[in-house]
Chains A and B, each alone.
Chain A
Amino acid sequence: MLEVVGLSKKYGKTLAADQVSFVVPAGKVGILLGPNGAGKSTVIKSIAGLLRFSGKVLIQGQDSRDLEAKRSFAYVPEIPYMYDALTVREHMEFITRAYGVELDEDELKALFERFELWDKQDKLGNELSKGMMQKVSICCALIIRPKVILLDEPMVGLDPGAIRELKALLIELREQGCTILISTHMLEMVKELWDVTFVMEKGRIRGSYAREDLGNGDLDELYFSVTGHEQTAEGNGGGTWEQ
C-alpha cells in the first residue's frame, strides 16, 4: 500500500505540491493525472525520496525513508539515468547487488526478451537510444521484485510493442499484489489499467476516484470535467462526468 499524507514541496517561492494526500490500496493501480506543470513528477520524486518535502509518505505502512520501505519499492524516472560505462546486463547486476536481490537468470532472460533487450545486453549505457534507456530503466525497477512501483511517464519514448508489453506486465504485477502508481497525462495509455485515479492541477489534488465509482463514465470525461479544460479531440466530445 502507498499512502501520501499532506505532502508539500516548494521550489524557491513556487509551491509545486500543496498538501497532497492520497492512498493507493495494496494490489491496485493508481494513476496520477494532470496537465503539464500540475506537480505530478514532483509528487513522484518526493515519494521516491529524491526531493525534500514536508508531509508523510508511507510505503507498506513504513516511512518511505526507512530502509525496509526502500527495499520494497522501485522507481522508474521520467528521464532514464544510465551509467555510460556499464552494459545493460551490468546495470542489472549493479541494481540486484544494491538491493540485495538474487539475480535469477531465467527471470532476467524473460524480462530482456519481453522488452527486446536480449541481444542488446552487452551494449553500453552511452550506446543506447532514449527508448532503449527507458526499457533498461523499467527492467532495473522490475528486477528487484518490488511491492510498490512508481512510474513517472513510463510510456514516453517507448515503441508500440514495448508499450503493450509494459501494460501487460503492469496488469500481471497487480495480479501478484504489487501496488502501482503511474504519473501521466496520456489518458489513452492507462484507460484499461487504472483502479484509482488522482487528478492534480496547480500542485493540488482536485479529485480522487475509484473505477467502481465511475460507473459508465469515461476517464477522459472525468479528467476534463475536473480540470475544466475543454475536450477538443475528435470523438472525445459529449457529456461531462458529474462529480
Chain B
Amino acid sequence: MVNRIKIALRKPVTYFYVALFLFYVLFLPFSLRVFAAQLGGDSPEGMVTVLTVMAFWMIPGNLIAYAKRKGLVYRNSDVHFLFPSPVSPKRVLLYAHLKTLVAQVLMNVFAAVCGGVVFGVSLWRLAVYFVFSLVVENLLEGSIMILLYGSEKLGEKQRAMVVKGAYGLLLVLVAMGVYWYFQEGLSLQAAASFLHSDMVKMVPVVGWYIGVLHLLFLGPDALNLAVTAAYGILFLGAVLAAWRMKCTGAFYEDAMKFAEDYEEVMKSRKQGDNQKRLGKKQKFGKARVIWKGQGARALFYRQLLEYKKSKYFIFDTSTFMALAAGIGVAYLYTRERGSGFFETFGPFVIPMVSGYLIFVFTALNGKWAKELKSPYTYLIPDSAFRKLMNATAMQHVQSLVNACLITVPGGVVMGMAPMEILLCIVFYVVLSANKLYALAVAEVVVGATLGAFGRQLLQLFIQGIAISAAVVGGVIGMAVGGVLQGYLLMDVFLSLFTFIFMVIAALNFYKIETA
C-alpha cells in the first residue's frame, strides 16, 4: 500500500484524481443541494431515501456475490504469495475485504459532507452514522462474507439457495413497490413514501438496515427500535458465527480462478477491449472471409473476419444507444411539438446528441486501440497511411450505420431536408473518425508518461478543439446563409481537423510504442 502511494505520487494523473475528488467532495454537494431542494428532498428524510435506494441493490448484490464466491478481488500476486503463506484463510478473506477500506472511508466522508450540506442532518447524527457505517456495517459485511465465501460446509445447492434467497428479497421489494404503485400512483412523493414505509422495514436484512437508518437520522419509533434490535441480533449472530466457523482455505481454488479472470479482463481493458466479461469466455461463431489484396489490406479482412465471428457483427452498445437516441429525439420532438428546451439550438439538436454520445461512449476506441497494441500492426510491410486506413475502415462503416440510426428518425420527424440529413450523417461519421485519430495523436504526444487516463483526457481535449471549430463553422454558416450552410461549414471545419489528426497519426505511426 505504501509503495503504491509512493508510485502514485510520482504520476501527474494522481494529482488530477485528487483534484477531481476534492472538487466532487467540496462542490458537488452544493449543486446537489439545489437539485434536492427542487425535488423537495433537502431534509434528513432525503438522506434516508438515498441510502435506502443504495441498500436495495447493494445488500442483495453483495449476498449474491459472496455466495457465488465472487466479489473479492485477489490479484495474481496475492495468489502467488498470500495463499500458500502461513496466514489464516479467514485473515486472507478479511485482507481482501479491507482492501476496499480506503474507498469506503472516502465514500463515507462524501456521504457525511452531503448529509450536512444537502440534507441538513445534524453533526452528531452524521458522526454516529460515520462510525456505524465504518465499524458495524463493515463488521457485519465482513462476517457475512466469511460465512458465505469462506464456508466449507455450504455445498453448491446451499449456495444456490442463498443466491435465490437474495433474489427473493429483491422480488419481495419489487412486489411491494408494484403494490404501492397501484395504491398511490406514480410520483416522486409516492416513491419516497414507499421507501419510508413500514412494510419495507420489515423485509429481513435489507429492511432491518433501513430501519437502523431511520433510527439514526429520523429518531425512534416502535418499528425502528424493533427492526434495529433485529439488526443487532443479526450482527451479533453473524460476528459470533464467523468467529467460530472453521475455515481451512477451500475457497482458494475459486478465488484463484477469479483472480486469473480478473487480471485477464483488466489486461484486455487496458488494451481497449471492453468486450471481455469477468468469468465468461468470449464466444465466437464460425465464419470465413475471402482474403483480397495484401499488406495492410490484411488488417481490414482480419477485422471483417473477427466481426463476422462476433455475436452481433459490427453492432454493439453504441449502435443500441444511437437507435435509442434517434427514436428518443423523434418521440420527444413529436410530443413537445418542437425541440422544447433545446429550441434555441434549433436544427442542430441531432448533431448535439451525436456529439454527446460519441464523447461519452468510449467503445469506439475498441478495435483501433487494440490494433495499436499488436506488434503485427507495426511489423506488416506497408505504409503507415494504408495501415491506418485499413485498420479503421470497419469502424467507419460502423459509424455510418450508427449515424443513420441516430439521424434518420429525428430528421424525418423534424422535416429536415434530405441534404441536411445527409450532412448530419457525415457529421457523425467524421466526428467518430476524429475520436479514433485523436487517440493516435494523444498516444504520440503523451506516450506512457500520463498513463491511459491521461491519454484519454488529452484525447478528449484534442477532440474538444475540433468540436469547438465545428461549432464556430456552424455559427458562421448560419449567419452567412442558413441551416444548410451551417451544416456544410460545420462538416468542413470538422473534416479539416479530422484530416489534420489523421495525417499526424499517420506521420507519427512509427513513434507509437507497443511496449
Q: Residues of A at under 8 Å CB distance from B?
A: 12, 45, 48-52, 65, 67-68, 70-71, 74-75, 77, 81, 83-86, 90, 93-95, 97-100, 124, 126
Contact = CB atoms under 8 A, between A and B. Distances in A.
Contacts of B511: 52
Contacts of B302: 83, 86, 90, 94
Interface in B341-395: 373-376, 378-383
Interface of B: 281-282, 284, 291, 293-299, 301-302, 305-306, 309-310, 373-376, 378-383, 449, 510-511, 513-515
A71 B381 contact: yes
Most chain A CB within a 10 A radius of its CB, from B296, B449, B515: B515
A122 to B, nearest CB: 9
B142 to A, nearest CB: 36
Given A50-B513, A84-B282, A124-B284, A95 B375 contact: no
Given A45-B514, A52-B511, A94-B302, 10 more contacts: A45-B515, A71-B381, A85-B284, A85-B310, A97-B291, A97-B294, A98-B380, A98-B382, A124-B284, A126-B281
Main secondary structure, interface of B, reads loop
Contact of B375 (A50, A71, A93): A50
A86 B305 contact: yes
Given A50-B513, A77-B375, A85-B284, A98 B294 contact: yes
A98 B299 contact: yes
A100 B306 contact: no
Given A67-B383, A98-B295, A49 B378 contact: yes
A48 B375 contact: yes
15 contacts: A51-B513, A74-B379, A75-B379, A85-B282, A85-B284, A85-B305, A85-B306, A86-B302, A90-B302, A95-B298, A95-B376, A98-B382, A99-B294, A100-B295, A124-B284
B108 to A, nearest CB: 37
Contact of A50 (B282, B291, B310, B378): B378
A52 B310 contact: no
A75 B375 contact: yes
A97 B305 contact: no
A134 B383 CA distance: 28
A90 B510 CA distance: 26
A126 B282 contact: yes
Contacts of B378: 48-50
A95 B301 CA distance: 11
A94 B298 contact: yes
A48 B284 CA distance: 31
A8 to B, nearest CB: 15
A56 to B, nearest CB: 14
B106 to A, nearest CB: 30
A1 B55 CA distance: 68
Nearest to A50: B514
Contact of B380 (A12, A52, A99): A99
A65 B511 CA distance: 11
